[in-house]
Chain A
């Protein structure tokens, strides 16, 4: 009989579903809210995985929660200093690069990956993926975390460039709901942040208000 993994040496991880999507005029970054230990114990039902690293730049975290928190704290500090020196908000690309440098230079020790999304004056809304090893790429939308494997088909089929804000909210909510439905380590509520030139808006969709699909 298989032994269940020992909680003491697996650590708290965000078996998770995260994504970010560019729409016409902004980006939406979203995640579930479950933190688990070893895949058999939910240690937190309402964790916030959307970290604000600057006024209009957010990142969502996947992997080891401790590593992710340490890296985002460092990135937040560096970006704050950088933006004061520049006398301007940092570019989303700069924020993603800072995270990438931290992930790549410490890739032996760390186990955290990020999705960075935000808005800047120069290039408008953008989405960047920083993988666990420190790869940095820009995409129109991206999904990540353990739950993302269940929604590649949905995301590829249903994503359209230049969606409206409402269409994009619907796309994101549906994607997260479907992932939560199939991934045991994703769950809780759906957190979303809508970032546009005008500002930042948090949207939370509690579990009972999530859309229902055919088998529910």
Chain B
């Protein structure tokens, strides 16, 4: 649990006596309040899954997407304040576009992650602005370097991953991700597992309805980041729901 940073937590330009910048930590709390997003890297690509909570039946289906396209070959899944995330997706798009304009080829994912992370970090230095209240996962697939996955958090650090989760159920999601042998799986197999993990970590009691957003990039999409096609998504959701029922049934048997 966090400690109260009374007096040292009013601006991002102040350290606490024990060396923490509380505003950045509070920004991370904002991410933890949001619903879960996961990204997993497999043998031939990257799959993103987002648990998008539907707060009202009046919302149009598919609105407020949490997975963005940054460039043809890069996808971004976000958790935290959605407005902050949208602003960062524009920053990422400009970086990728400028790179292509200057150097004539696709931006390497690590470089993009570093550049956007540097931008996020800049907002943790001054009292005149607040840090971004969102974390995001960037993924892409390239013929030569293969699939890659990076996560950036509000402090401005970027990490490379095989599988990562952000948002309220990230611990539970990470536990599920660790059970997978992702290095040996293909995207088609992984899509079903990602859907299953989102269904598992979704809290039926506290958060009622949700929409599952699924996207992928890899050999299966010839290197372009796309939303998973409707039929494959339906198959994945069916698999997820069936696995959950099986687990419920087996729990009853053990009683």
Contact residues of A with B, CB < 8 Å?
Answer: 82, 85-86, 90-91, 93-94, 96-98, 100-101, 121-122, 136
Contacts and interface: CB of A to CB of B under 8 A. Distances in A.
Contacts of A97: 102-105
Contacts of A122: 144
What secondary structure prevails in chain B residues at the interface with A? Answer: helix
A91 B144 contact: no
A101 B102 contact: yes
28 contacts: A82-B103, A85-B111, A85-B114, A86-B108, A86-B111, A90-B103, A91-B103, A91-B104, A91-B105, A93-B103, A93-B104, A93-B105, A94-B103, A94-B104, A94-B105, A96-B104, A97-B102, A97-B103, A97-B104, A97-B105, A98-B102, A98-B103, A100-B104, A101-B101, A101-B102, A121-B144, A122-B144, A136-B104
Contacts of B111: 85-86
Contacts of A91: 103-105
Q: What size tier do the contact residues of chain B reach?
A: under 10
Nearest to B101: A101
B220 to A, nearest CB: 22
What secondary structure prevails in chain A residues at the interface with B? Answer: helix
Interface string B104-115: 110010010010
A84 to B, nearest CB: 11
Interface in B70-113: 101-105, 108, 111
B175 to A, nearest CB: 33
Contacts of A90: 103
Contacts of B105: 91, 93-94, 97
Nearest to B142: A122
Contacts of B114: 85
A101 B103 CA distance: 9
B243 to A, nearest CB: 41
A98 B99 CA distance: 11
Nearest to B111: A86
A44 B65 CA distance: 64
A91 B106 CA distance: 11
Nearest to A92: B104
A82 B114 CA distance: 13
Interface string B45-62: 000000000000000000
Interface in B210-225: none
Contacts of A98: 102-103
